Amino acid sequence: MPDFPLDEVITGLQGHGLTEGPGGSIESFTVEVISVQHDAGPGFPLVLVRTSGELIEASGGVAAGMSGSPVYLPRGNGDALLGAIGYVFPEADHDLALVTPIAAMRDRRVASIAEEVHVAGIGSASPASTPVLMAGTTPRAAALVTELFAGAPTTPIASPHAAQGSAAAAEGNDPSELEPGAAIAVELMSGDLRLAVLGTLTAVEGRSLLALGHPLFGAGSISYGLATAKVTAIVPSSVVPFKLANLSSTTVGAITHDAPAALAGASGVDPSVVDLQVSVTAGGREERFQVAVAADERLYPQLTAIATLEAVDRVMRATGPGRAELAWEVTLRDGDRVNVVEQVTSTSDIALDAARLAAGPLAILATNRFAEPEVTHVSLSVNLSRDPGSAEVAQLVLETQELVAGGHAIVHVRLQPYRQEAVVRTFSVPLPSDLTGEVTLLVRGGDVPREIEGAPEEGGEVDEPGTFAELLDALRGQVQGSEIVFESVDEHGDVRRLSRTPLPWVVIGSRDLHVTIAPQGEASDGAGEEAGGDVSDEAGDGMNGDPDDPAEDGAGE
């Protein structure tokens, strides 16, 4: 079919659009040209149209999921392709839409994404929202989907009503048949858990195809899976009408370019994916999930979090407090492997906190400044208990205030386990031979940010990696949440890690002591300042010293 030249578009021309309706049939709706908007904002002209017909009336306007619906105008003895429904007016007339011209959809040279599309007298337009189909997942995962699209030009609809994809094959929808107006699904996650974005196919030329009429993430060159879908209903809404659909069970191609004016792709092409295996153990039950997520550094950390939340929810079958230990084995394309272990505790929703933690090491790899990590496989094991299993650093007491560089600081730490009796543990902390003068001794859980003036806020390694290999080593040896960490912060704000010790709890909270460390061969006359008062014998630790003795209470405040 020929293209309709933009310079021949005039007000009042009537044509039609195609989009998939309930039951999987391609339905036609009427389109009337209102004007050509040359300066609306996206860097290419847009055609303002009014839509009508039974489908539009039934849905209450242009629905989310209709972006990409081809629009045709009469030319000569037939029809010509004008472009695709791309933008709508959420706060104005829902029958109005902006058509992205087919020439712009084919042009990869359009380099920018409009922050705002505005039509005088009507208001601001935005890319038509895209329903997110979450087959095999629950509405709880929708909260993380919103984060996945944070900053994207496209607004997802991931409400409990819109998240009704089915992992079963869509009946009557042959995955090998792709035609203009058909519903398509851009797969971000497939396998036991599926997550895809619903849109409409605009044009097919051999194996090549165009869709959407606006960007998805605006990511440029990409590789996302392409599947067909069967629309089951269009839900009317005064806010944004939206389509519901079932996913087909087969990936039929790949979306290879996310441009400002369209998605481009091809059938018969395999997308690039990261193989993800999530194994969850809780209450004597264990389940494994095999998932393929888009091999996009901007997405796969959050997609891993979404998959983990769903997997944990399925196994735990309840929300609430608990503790989780996560173990990752991340395989890179060169065969190198990175093993990471971490713990997290929660007094409210351990599934959600574990899911957010699941993205952590992958996000570090994905955002590193040294090299492309080229992650190919992730094996994630999640072990859960319903006991939060945490202990707070409550108080510190120095054995003696006579601290000497090259020696040790004997520190009694009062720990308060969650809803259990307090305990005291004693630690011998080595002091470097060149660490002298006024020093802050910081004691914290491995994942607790530093909260003292002059020190870096984030936890983790003190020494920043300088190469990709050092980054991998830092990940392998990172401090865990179940470790208690002793660090020094000198008067210049320089931080040194003095010791790290694993404990049977996830350690939360932090305390600090201000001490004076004498050079080797000299005695220190400085007194340590304890951040939390006395360590009393109510802890049941046998430390029954005189509460007025500074050796017992750290010289008070």
Is residue 488 a contact partner of residue 443, using CB atoms and an 8 Å limit? Answer: no
Is residue 171 one of the residues assigned to a domain? no
Q: Which amino acid is at 477?
A: G
Does residue 508 sit in the same domain as residue 397? yes
Residue 264 lies in a domain: no
- Residue among 13, 73, 79, 41 nearest 214 (CA): 41
User: Is 422 a domain residue?
Assistant: yes
283, 378: one domain: yes
264 sits in which H/E element: strand 263-267
The C-alpha atoms of residue 435 and residue 72 are separated, in whole angstroms, by: 77
What distance in Å separates the CA atoms of residue 214 and residue 197, rounded to the nearest whole number? 13
Assigned token pair, 133: 């189909």
Supply the pLDDT for residue 121.
86
Q: E strands of 418-494, at which residues?
A: 423-430, 437-445, 483-489
Does one domain contain both 412 and 549? yes
Which among 232, 233, 259, 278 is positioned nearest to 378, based on CA atoms?
A: 278
Question: Is residue 55 domain-resident?
Answer: yes
Residues 380 and 394 in one domain: no
Question: Two tokens at 236?
Answer: 């009317």
Q: Which residue range is the domain that position 478 belongs to?
A: 390-553
Domain boundary among 385, 401, 432: 385
| Residues near 473 by beta carbon (within 8 Å), at least 6 away in sequence | 465
Domain boundary at 385, 419, 447, which?
A: 385
The single-letter code of the amino acid at 224 is: Y
Q: Are residues 295 and 374 part of one domain?
A: yes
DSSP one-letter code for 40: S
Encode 385-420: b = buried (16+ Cβ within 10 Å), e = exposed.
beebbbbbbbbbbbbebebbbebebebbbbbbbbee
**Number of domains forming the structure of the chain:** 3
Using DSSP's 3-state secondary structure scheme, residue 202 falls into strand
The phi and psi torsions of 405 (rounded to 5 degrees) equal -55, 140
Amino acid in the structure at residue 137: T
Q: Residue 489: CB partners within 8 Å, gap ≥ 6?
A: 439, 440, 442, 450, 452, 454, 455, 495
User: From CA 434, how far away is CA 108, in angstroms rounded?
Assistant: 60
Are both 316 and 348 inside the same structural domain?
yes
Say if 418 falls within a structural domain. Answer: yes
Rounded to 5°, angle at Cα 547 from 545 and 550? 90
Task: Give the CATH number, domain containing residue 70.
Answer: 2.40.10.10
Query: Which residue is it, tokens 């997942």?
Result: 137
Amino acid at 342: E
C-alpha triplet 36, 42, 44: angle, nearest 5°: 50
Residue 328 corresponds to which amino acid?
Answer: W
Do the Cβ atoms of 197 and 185 come closer than 8 Å?
yes
Domain contains 15 = yes
Examine the domain organization and report whether 411 and 498 are in the same domain. Answer: yes
200 part of a folded domain: no
For residue 180, being part of any structural domain is answered with no
Residues 88 and 121 in one domain: yes
Q: What share of the chain is helix, strand, coil (3-state, %, to 5)?
A: 15, 45, 45
CA distance 198 to 190: 14
Is the same domain home to 370 and 413? no
> What amino acid is encoded at 395 in this protein?
Q
Q: Are residues 430 and 381 in the same domain?
A: no
CATH number for the domain that contains residue 304 = 3.10.20
What pLDDT score was predicted for residue 250? Answer: 87
Token pair recorded at residue 251: 């990936």
Res 42: pLDDT: 77
Q: Are residues 538 and 411 in the same domain?
A: yes
Distances (CA, A) of 439 to 18, 168, 407, 467, 521: 72, 63, 15, 31, 18
pLDDT of amino acid 540: 42
pTM attached to this predicted model: 0.87
Of 95, 126, 157, the residue at which a domain comes to its end is: 126
C-alpha dihedral (502, 504, 505, 511), degrees to nearest 10: -50
pLDDT for res 158: 59
Chunked into runs of 10 residues, the chain (557 residues) has average pLDDT values of 94 97 94 91 88 94 95 95 94 92 85 72 87 74 84 70 40 63 95 92 95 92 94 86 88 94 95 98 94 96 96 90 97 96 96 96 97 96 96 97 96 97 98 96 95 59 84 96 96 93 97 95 53 45 38 34
Do 301 and 371 fall into the same domain? Answer: yes
In terms of Cα–Cα distance, which of 447, 469, 450, 422 is closest to 511?
A: 450
